[in-house]
Structure 1
Amino acid sequence: MDDLLRDLAPQVLGVLVRRGADFATAEDAVQEALLEAVRRWPDDPPADPRAWLVTVAWRRFLDAARSDAARRTREERVSDEPAAGPAEEHDDTLLLLFWCCHPALSPASAVALTLRAVGGLTTAQVASAYLVPEATMAQRISRAKRTVAAEGVGTPGDLRWVLAVLYLMFNEGYAGSVDLAAEAIRLTRPLARASAEPEVAGLLALMLLHHARRAARFTADGSLVPLAEQDRSRWDTALVAEGVEVLQAALAVDRLGEYQAQAAIAALHCDAPSAAETDWPQVLEWYDELQRLVDSPVVALNRAVAVGEVDGPLAGLRALERVPADLPRRTAVEAWLRERAGEFVAARELYVRAADQAASVAERTHLTRQAARLVSFIG
C-alpha cells in the first residue's frame, strides 16, 4: 500500500492545486487524506483509490479554507468549484512537476520541492539525501512553497528548466537513504512518454546510460573506480540497451540538443568492450557538436580529454588552456595529460593539488593514490 500511496499522492496534489488550492494548504490536505487511507483502507479498501483520496483531500482543504477568516475571499472562489466526486481521468503529476520547477525557484529549491511533492518523499528523506538537518530542509521546502504561492502556480517552469532540474537531481547521485539518480529517472520516464520533444528522450537516455555503469563505479570499500578501469561485466546491459533505444528514437527526429549529444557520448563508452576499444575519434566529434550547442567550460574540459586520447597529450594540454583554471576537475585532467606526456614530477604535484580540491572523500582518495603511484616513476 505504501507504494500505491506514494504514486497517488502527487496526482491528488496536482488535482487540488489545479482546482484552486494554494500549494502549502493542498499538501497538508493530501497528507491528512493519506493518513486517513492508512487507517481505513486495510479494512475497507476503496474501488477507486485515487478518487477516494481526491474526495477526502478536497474536503480537508475546504474545511481548512472555511476555518481561516483571513482567506474568506479565496473560500468564496473555491466554493464555486465542482463538488468533489470521481477524480478526473488525466494525470496531474506532470503539471505538478512543472509547478515545482517554477522559474522563480533556485535549482536546489526546485529539486527539494520536486522530491517532496512529486517524488512523494518525506522531508526527512529529502534532508537525508542532502545530508542536512530535517529542520533545515523543512524551512527550504516551506520557502519554496511560499515562493510558488506568491508567484502563482499558473506560471509553471518551461520544459528546458524542468529538464535542468531533473538533470541536477540525477547528478546528486546517492546519499543518505535516497537514491536521487533513481528518483530522477523515475520522474523523467512519464515526462518522456508524454512529450514529443527529443531532448526529453535525450535526457532519459543519458540518465539510463550513466546509471547502467553505477555498480562498477566504486569498490567494496568505497574507493572510486575510473571509467577506464571499471569491470564492464558489472554494467547493467538492460539499461544500456534501453538507453540506446531511447537515444536512437530521439536522434531520428533530427533536432539535436545538448542532452542527446551527451547521451551519444555515453552510448559510445557503453558500446566499447574495453577502454582501449573506445571510439575516441567519434567521441571527439560528438564533443565538437556539444560545444557548438553549449559553449561551457565543463564541455571544454571533457573535450580536452577526448583530444588527448585522439591527438595525444600535448594536443590535449593545448585544448585545456581554454578552460578556466578554477574549474573543478581541471587540475586532475591536467595531471592525467602531464602523466601521459611523461612529465611525472609535474603530474604528481598536480594530482596532490587536485586531491586537495576534491569534492568527495572517494575522489580525494583516488587522486592521492594516483600521486603516490607516480613516486616510482620519479628517480
Structure 2
Amino acid sequence: MPMDRFPQELLKIIVDHVDCFDDHEGRQALKSLRLVSSTFSNLAAVPLFRTVPLWIGLQSLTNLSNIAEHPSLSKYVTKIIFSPLQIRTYDNETKRSAEILDRFEVSSNSANEIILSNLKYTQAYGNYRRMQIALATHNQDKKIVVRAFRLLSNLTRLEVDSSRTRIGAAELRSAFGVMDGSELTMRGEYTIDVLLRALKDSGIKLSALVIRHSETFVNRKSPRAFGRPPPLLLKSDLDYDRISLALPEPQRFTSAVDNLEIRGLASMLEPEEEHLKAVVIRRLIELGRTLKKLDIGELGDFGLSNMCPLREIFRFITFRHLESLSLSWFNCQEQEIVELLSHITKSIVQVDLALVKIEGQGWSSVLTSLRQRSFKSLTSFVLTFCHDEEEFLHVERYIKKQTKTNPLEQFES
C-alpha cells in the first residue's frame, strides 16, 4: 500500500513513538525516519526542527542560518539549545604542541599514525582558532545569530546548557580526529557574550530563558569519545565577569522573558567572584520584567557552608506577576525569606523550596510569620529537605489558615 494511503493518525503515532526522547539519539532517529519516504520526511520534520542545537562554530551557524531562511522549517523552531563550547587558547603553544605529540606517541605504536594524527590535529586547531577570530571580527557571529533569531517567528525558548557535550561533537571529531576535551572550554567568556548581545539586538519575545551550567564530562582514555557519556570529569566554570559585562541594561532590553531557570552555577570561586555571580543572576532576573515563573538552584558548592545567600540575589528586585517560585540550595535569615514571599502574596500560586536553610529560629517561625499574610492564589507550598527531619512537606494549608497545627512544631519543640 502506498504510504500516502495510510491513515494520517497512524503515521503520526509512529512519528510520536520515534520522537519520545529529546536528545541526540532521538534526533538521529527522526533523521533516519525522514529518509523512509516523502510522507515521513514531512511529518518528522516538525519534531526534528522543533529544537535546534547551536554553538558558535561555522557548521552550526550555517545550519541555524539555513533553517531560519527556509520558508517551512523556520516555522517549526520553538527552542534553541545553546552550548557555550569554545576552542581554548594557550599561552605557550610550543609546550601545548609537545604535550599533544606525547599523547599520540602513548596511544599508538605506528610512527606514521603518530605523525599523521598530529598533523591533522594541528591543522584543525589552527583552522578553528582562525575561524573564531574571523567570526569575532566586526561581530560577524553575533550578526548571523541576530538575523536568524528574527526569522524564527515561533522561537519562544532559549536554553544555555554546558552539559550538552554532543553539540558540536561530530563536527569537531571529524576535524580533529583525536580529542580528549582539554582543547575545549565551556567558560562562555566569549560565546555567551555573543548569545546575550544577539538576544538583546534581535528583540525577540521569549517565554522562557534557561541557563544550566554543570561539570563537563570527557573520556581521556578514549579520545575519540568526545560528546559521548564519559567516565571522567572536567570542571568548567563560567566567566561571570565577562557575562556581567555582556548583560544588557534592563531598561534597554526589549526581549520579554516570562520564565527563567538558572541551575548548576556552583563553582569554587573567590569572594569577589561570588559577588559577581550574584550580580549576574540578579541582572538576569531583572531582564524578566513580566516574569511569571522563576526557578533558581544549585548556585553554591555541595556543602551547607557554601550555600548561596538569598539576600545577594533578590535585593532591590520587585515581582509583580510571579506565579511560580522554585528555590534550592540557599541559606538566609528568617526576615529575608518572609519579605521575599510577602511581596508576591497577590500573584504567587506555587512555591517549591528545597534545601533552603533558615538562620535563627528556623522554618517554624517563618511559617508563623507567613500565616499573618494573605496569599490569595496560593495552591501549593512545598518544603523539601528544608527541615532536618522532614524530607517532603506540604505547608500551604497552615499558611492559608486552613489548619491551626503548625506542621513543624513537633520537630522543633
State whether TM-score is above 0.5: no
**Greater percentage in helix:** 1
Query: Which structure has greater strand proportion?
Result: 2
